[in-house]
């Protein structure tokens, strides 16, 4: 068995009320029984929200959900973050605008990551 992660990233880099947005997302996931409401040690290094029974209804292959694993939870981050998959690589990065898989494109993330801009343009837009 290998590690697997999915990151859901909003189109908007900055919200006026980060905590309100985070709480709304969490309430939605808890109300649909996708994650447990209580924080637990289900993620590495921090506390997170463990997977719950309703998760089986939102995935295409529920038999692969990691219910049996101790580390199987949701971490919510409201800071600018560049997710690193370590040595596992990334299979897909789907642009929400053009719907292309842009995983193999070159990215310049410095000005976005440092907060100088909220605009992170798809590399495919630069080619057009």
Q: Is the pLDDT of residue 126 over 70?
A: no
Q: What is the pTM of this model?
A: 0.68
Pick from 32-41, 67-76, 115-124 the range whose average pLDDT is largest: 32-41
CB 120 within 8 A of CB 109: yes
State the pLDDT at residue 56. Answer: 94
**CB–CB of 100/81 below 8 Å?**
no
Count of Cβ atoms closer than 10 Å to residue 76 Cβ: 15
**In the prediction, which pLDDT does 55 show?**
93
What are the pLDDT digits (tens) for 26-62?
999 999 999 999 999 999 888 999 999 999 999 889 9
Tokens of 1: 């068995």
The Cα–Cα gap between 121 and 6 comes to 21
Is the pLDDT score of 1 beyond 50?
no
Pair of tokens at residue 64: 């692969």
At 94 the pLDDT is 80
Average pLDDT, the chain: 81
Integer Cα distance of 48 and 74 in angstroms:
5
């Amino acid at each position: 068995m290998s590690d697997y992660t999915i990151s859901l990233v909003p189109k908007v880099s900055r919200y006026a009320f980060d905590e309100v947005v985070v709480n709304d997302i969490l309430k939605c996931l808890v109300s649909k029984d996708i994650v447990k409401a209580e924080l637990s040690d289900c993620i590495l290094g921090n506390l997170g929200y463990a997977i719950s029974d309703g998760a089986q209804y939102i995935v295409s292959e529920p038999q692969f959900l990691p219910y049996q694993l101790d580390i199987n939870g949701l971490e919510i981050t409201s800071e600018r973050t560049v997710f690193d998959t370590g040595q596992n690589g990334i299979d897909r990065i789907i642009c929400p605008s053009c719907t292309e898989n842009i995983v193999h494109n070159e990215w310049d993330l410095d000005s976005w990551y440092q907060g100088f801009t909220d605009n992170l343009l798809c590399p495919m837009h630069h080619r057009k």
